[in-house]
Amino acid sequence: MNITKQILATLKSCYAVNGVVLNGRQHIVLASEADGGSCVAWKAPDYTESHTIWNGPGGTMSIVPIPGTDGEFLAVQQFFRMYDWEDAKIVHVRPTGAGTYDVKDILPLPYVHRFDLLTVNGRNYFIACTLARKKKTAADWANPGSIWVGEYTSNGLVDLRVLKEGLTKNHGYSRQVIGGIMRGWVTCEEGAFEVTPPTAPGTDWTVRQFMDWPISDISAIDIDGDGELEFATIESFHGKYFRVYKMIGGTFAKIYEHPEVTEFYHVVVGAKLAGKPVFVGGCRRGKQQLFYVHATQTAPLQLAAEIIDEGVGPSNACVLHETGRDIIAVANRETDEAALYIVTP
């Protein structure tokens, strides 16, 4: 595959990224985690035209489009430092025309880091992960985080409650569709948990632990085409290992480890690039690479990494599929760079 880079802008401490459709046109939205940081959107097809959604307060960890709306999304704000997150909150963002937006607080939630909307049978279920309950210092992990759940409706969040507590360094989250049902995967020091919303009237949320060792982040894709998912993890919290696991004989077997061992791996995304299943990975320390892992053969399965970029220090990435190409939108946090990597066969 061919990969070309397009730098969108310099965006101080850019951290969060996602795609949002507005007026029928794909937009890529990136936001800063810095105090007073901005959130900016770039419009397809060439992503050269942009507009600012907000200038401050910053502290954005996650951006999640609201299904069934025209360009509306939810986002985290005011999650600033490793222990000063008491004012973290979730906001509702609504376009009002001519590149302007109404930004409204909907949920104060200290230490909220990742969250999502899971659509099941036409209902949008809310899941949020708090890194901790309270912290006195950056090294204080005495008060573990939680998983919060509820339902997102036209009237806002309803039935909000804590589903599970006791999740230390509750950092990672990814979405996975299994058996036609959208589920959330939450990772922490205790392992990895699959969280499933209600699937029918009268049913409740369920939580299933499927890994039991410290994990910072996780994603999955069937990388060898055998019909079973493989799992890529970052271990442990802001960890120094990028690993891939395969279920063999009922247990997880490590089948790959990225050759660079260094602190602060932070990107792991299972996706297809040019029709090929891969894991996109990235690290904020060491060589600060953005890379993808792919299968060089499937029987037996062998994986290898290919460097996409180096010296950029990515914090988060998302993959968008367009006609004839795929786009990896990346927040290159350590170089203050909002960037696209355009993939063609």
Eight-state DSSP code of residue 139: T
Closest CA to 316 of 248, 269, 274: 269
Full residue range of the structural domain in which residue 281 is found? 230-307
Residue 340 forms part of a structural domain: no
CB atoms within 10 A of CB 299: 8
pLDDT tens string 136-183: 888 899 999 999 999 999 889 999 999 999 999 999 999 999 999 999
Residue 106 forms part of a structural domain: no
Higher pLDDT pick, 139 / 73 = 73
**CA distance to 62, 146, 239, per residue, from 114 (Å):** 6, 11, 17
Residue 319 forms part of a structural domain: no
Closest CA to 340 of 51, 71, 28, 64: 28
Residue 262 forms part of a structural domain: yes
High-pLDDT (> 90) share of the chain, %: 93
pLDDT of residue 32: 98
Using an 8 Å Cβ cutoff, are 60 and 77 in contact?
A: yes
Mean pLDDT (whole number) for 83-96: 90
pLDDT tens string 46-60: 999 999 999 999 999
pTM for this entry: 0.95
Residue 23 forms part of a structural domain: no
Closest CA to 216 of 263, 259, 286: 263
Q: Which two tokens stand for residue 90?
A: 């979730």
Residue 289 forms part of a structural domain: yes
High-pLDDT (> 70) share of the chain, %: 99
Question: In this model, does residue 9 exceed pLDDT 80?
Answer: yes
pLDDT band for position 239 (cuts 50, 70, 90): very high
pLDDT of residue 302: 96
Distance CA 27, CA 320 (A): 10
How many domains, in total, are found in the chain? 1
Residue 235 forms part of a structural domain: yes
Question: In this model, does residue 257 exceed pLDDT 70?
Answer: yes
Residue 34 forms part of a structural domain: no
